[in-house]
Amino acid sequence: MVLHTMSRTVVLGVIGSDAHVVGITILEQAFRQAGLTVINLGVQSSQTEFAEAATQHDADAVLVSSLYGHAEQDCQGFHETLEAHGVDALTYIGGNLAVGQNDFEETRRTFQELGFDRVFDAETTPEDAIAALERDLRISTTANERATVTT
Amino acid sequence: MVLHTMSRTVVLGVIGSDAHVVGITILEQAFRQAGLTVINLGVQSSQTEFAEAATQHDADAVLVSSLYGHAEQDCQGFHETLEAHGVDALTYIGGNLAVGQNDFEETRRTFQELGFDRVFDAETTPEDAIAALERDLRISTTANERATVTT
Amino acid sequence: MIGDEPLSTDELRRIDRTIRADWPTGEAVDFQEAVAYHESLPRHKRFADVLESADRPLLQPRAGVPLLEDQIDLLEYLRESGEADLLPTTIDSYTRDNEYGKAQEALEAARESGGETLNGFPAVNHGVDGCRALIEAVDGPIEVRHGTPDARLLAAITFAGGFQSFEGGPISYNIPYTKRHDLAKTIEHWQFVDRLAGAYTERGVRINREPFGPLTGTLVPPSIAITVMILEGLLAATQGVRSLTLGYGQVGNVVQDVAALRALRSLGEEYLPNDVCVTTVFHEWMGGFPPDEARASGVISLGGLTAAIGCPDKVITKSPQEFRGVPTMEANAAGLRTTRQIIDMALEQTITIDGIDDEQRLIERETRALLDAVDAHGDGDLVRGIVRAFETGALDVPFAPSESAQGAVLPARDDDGRVRILEFGNLALSEDIKAIHAARLAQRAETEGRERSFRMVADDVDAISDGRLIGRPLGGERRAD
Amino acid sequence: MIGDEPLSTDELRRIDRTIRADWPTGEAVDFQEAVAYHESLPRHKRFADVLESADRPLLQPRAGVPLLEDQIDLLEYLRESGEADLLPTTIDSYTRDNEYGKAQEALEAARESGGETLNGFPAVNHGVDGCRALIEAVDGPIEVRHGTPDARLLAAITFAGGFQSFEGGPISYNIPYTKRHDLAKTIEHWQFVDRLAGAYTERGVRINREPFGPLTGTLVPPSIAITVMILEGLLAATQGVRSLTLGYGQVGNVVQDVAALRALRSLGEEYLPNDVCVTTVFHEWMGGFPPDEARASGVISLGGLTAAIGCPDKVITKSPQEFRGVPTMEANAAGLRTTRQIIDMALEQTITIDGIDDEQRLIERETRALLDAVDAHGDGDLVRGIVRAFETGALDVPFAPSESAQGAVLPARDDDGRVRILEFGNLALSEDIKAIHAARLAQRAETEGRERSFRMVADDVDAISDGRLIGRPLGGERRAD
Ligand code: B12
Ligand code: B12
C-alpha cells in the first residue's frame, strides 16, 4: 500500500502558560522533514490562537502539547473554541498531561472525553506522531488501523 | 540503675552450611570488648556443635547466626537438641533469616515459634546485641524490659 | 529604560505599596515587623548561614504541593527520610503568571477535594501567616523556587513570611520560562525583588538569592549559563544582595561539568563585589530523563559523582520519577539518598581528572567574551547592555521560548560528549573560539559519517533519555524497541 | 599430594564414571553426544564467543530459583527487561554441599508449594535434560554460578546440559565458602572440572571458566585477589582451559579499583599461556550493602562508573535489594539498568584519573611477591606451592572461614579510602611494601586521632552500608539514628 505524500498543514503549539519548548521544536523539525506544512505557535499559546491559526491556514490537524501538568484545565472548552471558529480538523494532544505519577489510561480517557482524537504520552517519538498523522490524514482510514497506532 | 559487669559466657556460631563469617567476627570482638566470654564456633556449625559447646562451657546464651537463607531448615529441632544435651541457656538468632524480600515480622514469629528467645534482623548492630544480652542476663529481668529491646 | 542603579528607598516603598494591593494577602506585609520575625528564627533555619558554613555539598530537592499541611508533611518527610539539608517550596504555575485569582480557585478546590489542582504551593494565597506556619513547622532552612518573571508580590510575601532564600532572576526566569515578557520590564521587576532582599540584608537578615543556572535545561553551553549567572549576580549586588548562589546544570560530561563549576566559582568571585558571599549550586541533569526509574538513578548518580569532584556548595537533586511527572515524596527522598550515598563515598577519596584546566580555560575565555559584548552593548549601563545583547543575539540561550531572545544558538555534543555550539546565530564569540567548536563538531560528524545538522541536535536532546550521552545515529534505535 | 599436571584421559574417564554414580541424573551424561549438542547451539548462545568479541563491558546479574519454569521466566525477564547481556544460573546451597538428596526433597516441596525452599537452581537434580530445556528456552549465553568446593558432578551435568561457562575454582570456592574442606583435595576436584572443560575445548567447544575474584567480598586487598586469580588460571590452563575470565570485586576507591582491573588484565596476560584468551570481570561491591534501595543504587552506580573507566569485559551487577535478601526479578533488572545507564553515559567520554599508574605498580609488585612466595613454597610444583603457602599464611585471605587458610590478614582503609593491610600475619610481602601499608594506615590513624586497631576494621566493614566509604569514628553515628 503506497502512502500519500504528506502535503498537509498542521498547527502545533504549547497551550496555557506552559513554556516547555523543546518537544515542539523537535516535532516541528521532524514534521517538516516528513513533508508536512507546520504552523508552530510556540509556547504559551491560547485556545483562540490555536483556533485562529487553524482557520487561517486551513489546517488538517491541530496538535496541542502540554508538559507542565495543567493540561486538563487549559483544555477545558478547547473543542468548543475550535468549533466556534469553524475549525474541523483532527486534534491531537501529547506530553506530560497530568500532575504527578498518574495512570496514563485514565489520562487518555480524560482527554478523549474533552474531544481529542488521539492522546499521546511523553514517550511518544516524532516517528510515532508522524505515523499517526500519516494514517489519520489519508482519504480513507479504517477504524481498525486507527486503533493500532494509538499510543 | 547500675548494670552488672558482664562476666557471662556466650556461644556464637553460624549454623548449617552457611559460610558468612564477617558478622560473627564483628560480634565476637564487640562481645569481648563488652566483657563477655565468647566461644566462637565459626561458620558451618551443626546443632550438635552448638549444644556440646554450650554444655562444655556452661554457656549463659547461645547465639546463632544465619545469612544465606536456609535458617529455618537448619534450625528445625535446634531447641530439642539443646534440651537433649541438658542446655538451659538464652537463645538468640540473627542475620538474613529468610530467602528473599520477606516481611520481618513474619520471620520473627517463625523463629520465636521454633523456640528462640529473641530474633534479630540484619540491621542489628553489635551494640543492639550487647544491650539485649545485658538485660536478659541480669539476675532479674522483667518481661516489660525484655519487650522494649526486642529488635 | 531603567539603569543598573539601586532603587531609592522611596521607589522601594512606592512599588511595595502598589504590588501589595494586587492581592488581599499583600496587606499583612510589614517590613519592620518582618525583620523582627526573622531575628527570632533559630540559626539552623537561616538559609545563608547554613549554606555558607557547610563543609560538604548540601542537598536540596524540589517540592511543592497546594495545601499548607501537605507542604509541611512533604518537607518534613524530605528532611527526615530524604536527609535533605536544605528545603524548597516550589510555587505553582498560576502564581508564576500572577494569576492569584485562578490560584485561589484551585487552592479552594484542593482544600475540598484534596486533588492535584495546582503544580505547586501558592505562597501568595497562603499569605504571610501561611508562610510563617510553614517556616515554623519545618526544622530546616527553606527556599522559594518558582519561575516567575514578575515575582514582586511573591517576594514581598515570602520574605515577610520568613523565607530567607529566593530563586530566580530577570534573565533566568524570563528567557527559559516565558514567551512574551519584555526583558527590560522583567529586569525592573527583579530590581525590586533584589532591593527588597537588600533592605533585609542591611537590617542584618541576609536573604540568599539564587539565579537559576540551568536556563532551558537542555544542552546549554556552560559559558552561556555562567554569563547569565554573573549578569544576574551583578544586578542583584547593585541592589544590596550580599549572599548569592550561582547555579549550573549538569550536561553529563564530567570534565566539562567540573570545569564549568570551577569557572563559575572563580569568575563569580572575580566579577562580583568583594562584600558579596558567592556560593555555587549544581543541578543534576535538567534535560529529558529516561522513562525508567532504574536508569534515572544512574543519571542521578552521575550527577552525584560529578558534584563530589566539582564540590559545589549545594546540589539540587532529581528524583527517579523525573520523566513521568511530579514525583511521590518517597521517590523524591530516594533521589536525595542515592545522591548522598555516591557523593559521600566519592568525597572521601581523591579523584583528579585530566583535562579540566583546559576546558575551564575555554569556558572562561568564552564567558569573558560574552560579558565583554554585553558591556559593549550597554554604553556604560549593564541593564541596557543585557537587553540589547539579547536583542541582537550577542547573548543567546538555546531553545529559548522568549521573544526577548533570538533563540538562534543550537548546541550539539562533540565526540567526547561535551556540549559545543553548532549554530552561533549572532553569539559574540571570536572567530577562533568558533573554530574550536566547529572543529570538535566536524570531528564528531566524521566519526558518525553524517553531516552536522539539526538531526544531531535532536538526537542529542534524546540521548540521555535513550540511555546514552551522545545522540549517535545508532543509539536512536534503542528507543524504538 | 597431586601435582600440577594434566589429568590423563583415563583418569578423567575414571573419575567421570565415579562421580556420575553419585546421583541418578549422572547417568544421562554422554560426552560425545554433548559435544554434538553444543555444536548445535547458535553463536549467540556461545558464552566465550559472545564475551570475547564484545566491544563494551557486558552485564550479567546473579539469579537462581528452584523450578525450571521459574528459572526460564526469570532469565528471560532479566534479558528483556534488564537488558542483561550474559545470564547466570545460581545454584542452591544443598547442591554446593553435594547434598543432592536434600536438594531433591526441597525441589519436590517447591514443586508442590511453589515456596522458597531453596536459595538457587539445583542443576544436578534437574539433570541434563532440565539444563538443556533451560539453555534452549533462554535466548542468551548462560553461566553456572555456585560456590561448590567439589563441583565435579555439577560440571559434568551442566556441561553436558549445554552450559558453556562455569564459575569458581579450588581456592576461590574453598577459602571464602567453607570451613573444613581440605585445599589439596579441592584442587584435585577442580582439576577434574578444568580437565573436563579442556576436553570440550579440544573438541571445539570452548568452555569459559571464571575464577571467583571477590573471595570474601569484604575489603580484600587487590593483590591478594589477583594472586588467587592467576593461580587458578594457571591450574585451569594446565588442564586445557583456553577461555578464562579473571575476576575482581570493587573496593569502592575508584583509583584503586581501576588500577586493580588493569593489573589483573596485564598480569593475567603475562602469567597465563599465550593460547589462553584472558578476559576480566568486575563485581560491583560485594560487601555489606546499605539497608536502603535508594542508597544501594548509589553504590551500584559507583561500580558502574568505575567499570566505565576500568573497562573490564564483563560486570556482575548487584540489585538495590542486596542488603535484605535474594532480590525480586524487578529489582534485579533495576540493578542492571542503573548500571547500564551510568556505564554507557560514562563510556562515551574520556575520564582519565591521576594516580592509577602508581597504584597499579604497587599492586603488581605485591602480586609478584605473593606469586613468587607460592612458587618458592612449591619446590617446583604449583599445587604444592598453593597448599603450603596457605598453610603458612604466606598467602592469605581476610575473613577466610576456611581451616585451610590462616585468615590472619586484616585489611583497613587508608585516608583516601584505599584498602591496605593492617595485620599481615605471615603474608609474604617485603618489609618495604609493608612499610607503605603501615605508613598509609598510620596517616589515617592520625587523621582520626585513634590507634590502629580492630575497631577500624569493624568500622570499615560497616562504612558503605552506613553511607560512607571510610569507617571514620564519627561516621558510625549514622547507623545508630
Ligand atoms: C527541560 C524541562 C524544563 C525546562 C524547560 C525549558 C523550556 N523552556 O523548554 C525548565 C527548567 C524551564 C522547566 C520548567 C518547569 N517544569 Co519542566 N521539565 C523539563 C524536563 C526535564 C524535560 C522536558 C523536555 O524538554 N524533554 C525533551 C523533549 C524532546 O521531550 P517532550 O517535551 O516530552 O516532548 C516529546 C513527547 O512528549 C512528545 N510530545 C510532546 N508534546 C506532544 C504533542 C503531541 C500532539 C504529540 C503527538 C507528541 C507530543 O513528543 C516530543 C518529542 O519526542 C521534564 C521532565 C522529563 N521529561 O524528563 C520536566 C517537566 C516536564 N517539568 C515539570 C514542571 C512541573 C515544570 C515547572 C512547572 C516547575 C518547575 N519544576 O520549575 C516549570 C514550568 C514552567 C512553565 N511555565 O512551563 C514537570 C511536569 C509535571 C507534570 N506534568 O506532572 C516535569 C515532568 C518534571 C517533573 N517530573 O516534575 N522544565
Ligand atoms: C559478603 C557476602 C558474601 C560473601 C561471604 C564471605 C564470607 N565467608 O563471609 C560471599 C561472596 C562468599 C557470599 C556467598 C554467598 N552468599 Co552472600 N552476602 C554477602 C553480603 C554482601 C554481606 C554480608 C556481610 O558480610 N555483611 C557485613 C556483616 C558485618 O553484617 P552481617 O553479616 O549482616 O551481620 C550483622 C547482623 O546481621 C547481625 N547478626 C548476624 N548474625 C547475628 C546473630 C545474632 C544472634 C545477632 C544478635 C545478630 C546477628 O550482627 C552483625 C554485625 O552487625 C550479603 C548482603 C548484604 N548484607 O549486603 C550477602 C548475602 C547474605 N548472601 C546471600 C547469598 C544467597 C549467598 C550465597 C548462598 C549465594 C551466592 N550469592 O553466591 C553464598 C553462600 C555461601 C555459603 N555457603 O554460605 C544472600 C542471602 C539471601 C537471603 N537470606 O535471602 C545475601 C543477603 C545477598 C543477597 N541479597 O542475595 N556472600
Per-residue pLDDT tens over the stretch C454-472: 999 999 999 999 999 999 9
Q: Which amino acid makes up residue C461? A: V
pLDDT digits (tens, 9 = 90+) for D296-340: 999 999 999 999 999 999 999 999 999 999 999 999 999 999 999
Quote the mean pLDDT of chain A: 89
pLDDT of residue B86 exceeding 70, the answer is yes
How close is the nearest chain B Cα to the Cα of D89, in Å? 16
The residue whose C-alpha atom lies closest to atom 27 belonging to ligand 1 is C288
pLDDT digits (tens, 9 = 90+) for C167-208: 999 999 999 999 999 999 999 999 999 999 999 999 999 999
Residue A98: predicted pLDDT: 86
Q: For a pLDDT cut of 70, what percent of chain D falls above it?
A: 98
Contact D255 C350 (CB under 8 A): yes
Cα–Cα separations (whole angstroms), residue D150 to D100, D220, D417: 13, 24, 36
Integer Cα distance of A105 and A125 in angstroms: 18
Residue nearest to atom 63 of ligand 1 (CA): A68
CA–CA distances in Å: residue A7 to residues A26, A61, A107:
19, 12, 31
| Separation CA B135–CA B92 (nearest Å) | 13
Q: Does C467 touch chain A (CB under 8 A)?
A: no
- The C-alpha atoms of residue D465 and residue C253 are separated, in whole angstroms, by 28
How close is the Cα of C300 to the center of ligand 1, in Å?
Answer: 17
Question: Residue A81 carries which side chain, given as an amino acid letter?
Answer: T
Q: Give the pLDDT score at B98.
A: 86
| Residues C458, C219 contacting (CB under 8 angstroms) | no
Q: Is B74 near ligand 2, meaning CB less than 6 Å away?
A: no
Residue A90: the pLDDT is 97
Does ligand 2 lie within 6 Å of residue D323's CB atom? yes
Question: Which fold, B9-147?
Answer: Rossmann fold (3.40.50)
Categorize the per-residue pLDDT at D234 as very low, low, confident or very high, splitting at 50, 70 and 90: very high
Q: How far apart are CA B71 and CA B67, in angstroms?
A: 8
Among the atoms of ligand 2, which is closest to the Cα of residue B21? 9
Look at residue C470 in the predicted model and tell me its pLDDT.
98
Q: In the prediction, which pLDDT does D118 show?
A: 87
For B7-58, the DSSP string reads --EEEEEEBTT----HHHHHHHHHHHHTT-EEEE--SSB-HHHHHHHHHHTT
DSSP codes, C201-264? HHTT---EEE--TTTTSSS--HHHHHHHHHHHHHHHHHTT--EEEEEEE--S-HHHHHHHHHHH
More confident site: D175 or A73: D175
- The per-residue pLDDT for range D357-387, each reduced to its tens digit, is 999 999 999 999 999 999 999 999 999 999 9
| Residue in A25, A43, A123 nearest the CB of C179 | A43
| pLDDT of the residue at D73 | 98
Q: Which helix (H) or strand (E) holds C142?
A: strand C142-145
Q: B26 CB under 6 A from ligand 2? A: yes
Predicted confidence (pLDDT) per residue in C79-101, tens digit: 999 999 999 999 999 999 999 99
Report yes or no: D430 and D254 within 8 Å, Cβ to Cβ.
no
- Closest CB from D179, D325, D480 relative to B101: D325
- What are the residue ranges of helices labelled H in B47-150? 47-56, 71-74, 78-84, 104-113, 126-136, 143-149
Out of A24, A33, A50, A67, give the residue to mutate to test ligand 1, the one with the largest number of ligand atoms within 8 Å of its CB: A67
Task: Map chain D to HEC letters.
Answer: CCCCCCCCHHHHHHHHHHHHCCCHHHHHCCHHHHHHHHHCCCHHHCHHHHHHCCCCCEEECCCCCCCHHHHHHHHHHHHHCCCCCCEEEECCHHHHCCCHHHHHHHHHHHHHHCCCCCCCCCHHHHHHHHHHHHHHHCCCCEEEECCCCCCHHHHHHHHHCCCCEEECCCCCCCCCCCCCCCHHHHHHHHHHHHHHHHHHHHCCCCCEEECCCCCCCCCCCHHHHHHHHHHHHHHHHHCCCCEEEEEEECCCCHHHHHHHHHHHHHHHHHHCCCCCEEEEEEECCCCCCCCCHHHHHHHHHHHHHHHHHHCCCEEECCCCCCCCCCCCHHHHHHHHHHHHHHHHHHHCCCCCECCHHHHHHHHHHHHHHHHHHHHHHHCCCHHHHHHHHHHHCCCCCCCCCCCCCCCCCEEEECCCCCEEEEECCCCCCCHHHHHHHHHHHHHHHHHHCCCCCHHHHHHHHHHCCCCCCCCCCCCCHHHHC
Which ligand lies nearest the alpha carbon of A61? 1
Cα B142 to Cα B127: distance, rounded to the nearest angstrom: 20
Q: Please tell me the distance from the alpha carbon of residue D257 to that of residue D286, in angstroms, as a whole number.
A: 13
Q: What does the alpha-carbon distance between residue C223 and residue C424 come to, in Å, rounded to a whole number?
A: 13
Q: Is the CB of D34 under 6 A from ligand 2?
A: no
| Contact of chains B and C by CB distance (3 or more pairs under 8 angstroms) | no
Does C470 contact D417 at a Cβ distance shorter than 8 Å? no
What per-residue confidence (pLDDT) applies to C1? 78
Q: Tell me which ligand sits closest to the C-alpha of residue D459.
A: 2
Measured CA to CA, the distance from residue C410 to residue D58 in angstroms comes to 35
Cβ within 8 Å, pair D342-C467: no
| pLDDT at site D113 | 86
| pLDDT recorded at residue B146 | 40
Which band of pLDDT confidence, cut at 50, 70 and 90, is reported for residue C287? very high
Distance from the CA of D99 to the center of ligand 2, in angstroms? 21
* Residue partners of D437: CB distance under 8 A and separation at least 6: D420, D421, D422, D424
What is the distance between the alpha carbons of residues B24 and B14, in angstroms, rounded to a whole number?
A: 7
Residue C306, classified by CB atoms within 10 Å of its CB into exposed (0-12), middle (13-18) or buried (19+), is buried
Tell me which chain A residues have a C-beta less than 8 angstroms from the C-beta of C328: 100-101
Give the pLDDT confidence of C8-39 residue by residue, as tens digits: 999 999 999 999 999 999 999 999 999 999 99
Q: Among A17, A30, A100, select the one facing C326 at the smallest CB separation.
A: A100
Alpha-carbon torsion C272, C274, C275, C278, what sign? Answer: positive
- Does D89 have pLDDT greater than 80? yes
Confidence of residue A145 (pLDDT cuts 50, 70, 90): very low
Over range C419-448, report the average pLDDT: 98
Query: Is residue B142 pLDDT above 60, yes or no?
Result: no
Q: Determine which of A63-77, C105-119, C130-144, D420-434 has the lowest per-residue pLDDT on average.
A: C105-119
Q: Answer whether residue A37 shows pLDDT above 50.
A: yes
Ligand nearest to the CA of C397: 1
Strand-pairing partners, residue C435, are: none
Residue D218: closest CA among D250, D187, D246, D266: D250
Is a pLDDT exceeding 60 seen at residue D179?
Answer: yes
Cross-chain Cβ contact D324/B125 below 8 Å: no
For D350, which residue in chain C has the nearest alpha carbon? C416
- Tell if the CB–CB gap between B26 and D216 is shorter than 8 Å: no
DSSP B69: S
**D437 close to D398: Cβ distance less than 8 angstroms:** no
Mean pLDDT of C380-408: 97
Task: Check C399 against A22: CB less than 8 A apart.
Answer: yes
- With beta carbons under 8 A apart, name residues in chain D contacting C443: none
d(CA C54, CA A81): 55
Q: What percent of chain D lies above the pLDDT cut of 90?
A: 96
Question: Among all ligands shown, which has an atom nearest to the Cα of D220?
Answer: 2
Using 50, 70 and 90 to split pLDDT, how confident is the model at B101? Answer: confident
Say if residue C285's pLDDT is above 70.
yes
Which ranges constitute the DSSP H helices of A18-90?
Answer: 22-33, 47-56, 71-74, 78-84
Q: HSE of C237 in the Cβ direction (CA atoms, 13 Å)?
A: 20
* Burial class of residue C92 (count of CB atoms within 10 Å of its CB; 0-12, 13-18, 19+): buried
Mean per-residue pLDDT for D459-469? 97
pLDDT of residue B145: 42
Chains in contact with B, counting 3 or more C-beta pairs less than 8 Å apart as contact: D
ipTM of the complex in this document: 0.94
| D451 pLDDT higher than 80 | yes
State the nearest Cα–Cα gap between D196 and chain B, in angstroms. 27
Of D290, D298, D350, the CB nearest to C304: D298
Q: Specify whether the CB–CB gap between D364 and D370 falls below 8 A.
A: no
Residue D328: list chain B partners with CB under 8 A.
100-101
CA distance linking residue D377 with residue D392, whole number of Å: 9
Q: Is the pLDDT of residue C67 over 90?
A: yes
For residue C293, report the distance from its CA to the centre of ligand 1, in Å.
17
Handedness of CA B115, B121, B122, B127 (dihedral sign): negative
Q: Do C353 and D353 touch (CB under 8 A)?
A: yes
CA distances from residue C115 to A100, C52, C118, D267 in whole angstroms, order as listed: 11, 38, 8, 63
Q: Provide the pLDDT for residue B4.
A: 47
Ligand 2 atom with the smallest distance to the CA of B102 is: 84
Which sequence spans correspond to the domains of chain B? 9-147
Of C94, C179, C325, the CB nearest to A101: C325
Of C116 and C443, the one with more pLDDT: C443
**D401·B69 Cβ contact <8 A:** no
Is the per-residue pLDDT at B3 higher than 50? no
Say yes or no for a CB contact (<8 Å) between B17 and D326: no
pLDDT higher than 60, residue B135:
yes
Give the residues across from D265 on adjacent strands.
none
d(CA D268, CA C283): 42
- Whether ligand 2 lies within 6 angstroms of the CB of D216 is answered as yes
CATH homologous superfamily, domain D9-347 = Methylmalonyl-CoA mutase (3.20.20.240)
Pick from C177, C180, C325: CB nearest A99: C325
Nearest-CA neighbor of C217 among A30, A123, A100, A23? A23
Question: Do residues A120 and A151 lie in contact, with contact meaning Cβ atoms separated by under 8 Å?
Answer: yes
Q: Which three cell numbers stand for residue C101?
A: 485569582
DSSP state of C26: G
Distance CA A71, CA C469 (A): 31
How crowded is residue C433: how many other Cβ atoms within 10 Å of its Cβ?
Answer: 18
Helix axes C293-310, D293-310, angle to 10 degrees: 70
User: Cβ of D69: how many Cβ atoms within 10 Å?
Assistant: 11
C-beta separation of A62 from A91 below 8 A: yes
pLDDT at position D117, please?
80
Please check whether residue D399 touches B, CB under 8 A. yes
User: Looking at residue B100, what is its pLDDT?
Assistant: 76
Using CA coordinates, name the residue in chain A closest to C329. A100
Confidence bin at D476 (pLDDT 50/70/90): very low
What's the CA-to-centroid distance between B16 and ligand 2, angstroms?
Answer: 13
Q: Is residue D44 pLDDT above 90, yes or no?
A: yes
The verdict on a CB contact (< 8 Å) between C349 and D418 is: yes
SS3 labels along C189-203: HHHHHHHHHHHHHHC
Check pocket membership of D212 for ligand 2, CB cut-off 6 A.
no
Cβ contacts of D257 on chain C, cutoff 8 Å: none
- For residue D124, with 0-12 CB atoms within 10 Å meaning exposed, 13-18 middle and 19 or more buried, which class applies? buried
Q: Which of D146, D172, D177, D478 to mutate to test the pocket of ligand 2 (most atoms within 8 A of CB)?
A: D177
Give the DSSP per-residue string, C88-131.
Answer: EEEPPHHHHTT-HHHHHHHHHHHHHH-----SS--HHHHHHHHH
